[in-house]
Amino acid sequence: KILDDISHVKLRKGMYIGATSNEEREQFLFGTYQKIKYVPGLVKIIEELINNCTDEAIRTNFKFANKISVSIDQETSTIVVEDNGRGLPQNMVNTPEGTEIPAAVAAWTRVKAGSNFDDSQGFAGAGQNGVGASLTNIFSKSFIGITCDGDNTMTIKCENNLSSIDWKVKSGGKQGT
């Protein structure tokens, strides 16, 4: 068999995000060791988005993405990660299939997409494999990414584990993601 990237990620979840079932562990929290229950894979896909923000901060020597916020709404099962970075690139990139899509769409929807593959630049951030936000998207019922490069704001909406992808661009907006 030859699987496409998304099928491989879904079939071999543990390889990409770790355990997807509730686990109990002892963790040092608030000054004491406590038993907690959590899903490591869920933590991993949230971390992937936070890592993207911190990569931007490190890459720009903390000139950008020096404000990162994370909010979790348990009632709606919604997690929002925001930064004041430069925004994802919106230039067109070529896919292996020979089509063109915006770089931001590639970053959030395609495994093995990103800008940190040049090891000669000495960048030692977390996001060097090109799977981060796409993993979050693959394991999400709904994913909405909004990024502004200072000139244009791009909104990318994906549903049902990347089974649908839609994006739109409008002029203007506040820089960040």
Q: What is the pLDDT of residues 28-44, one digit of tens each?
A: 999 999 999 999 999 99
Q: What is the pLDDT of residue 113?
A: 79
Q: What is the pLDDT of residue 64?
A: 96
pLDDT of 125 strictly over 80: no
Which pLDDT band holds residue 60 (cuts at 50, 70, 90)?
A: very high
pLDDT of 130 strictly over 80: no
Q: Which residue has the higher pLDDT, 47 or 125?
A: 47
Q: What is the pLDDT of residue 119?
A: 57
Mean pLDDT across 145-149? 96
Mean pLDDT across 77-97? 94
pLDDT of 7 strictly over 90: yes
Collect all residues with Cβ–Cβ distance below 8 Å to 103 and sequence separation of at least 6: 88, 89, 90, 91, 92, 93, 113, 115
pLDDT of 72 strictly over 80: yes
List residues bridging with 82 in a β-sheet: 69
pLDDT of 122 strictly over 60: no
Q: How far is CA 57 from CA 24, 29, 61, 87, 155, in A?
A: 33, 27, 6, 12, 22
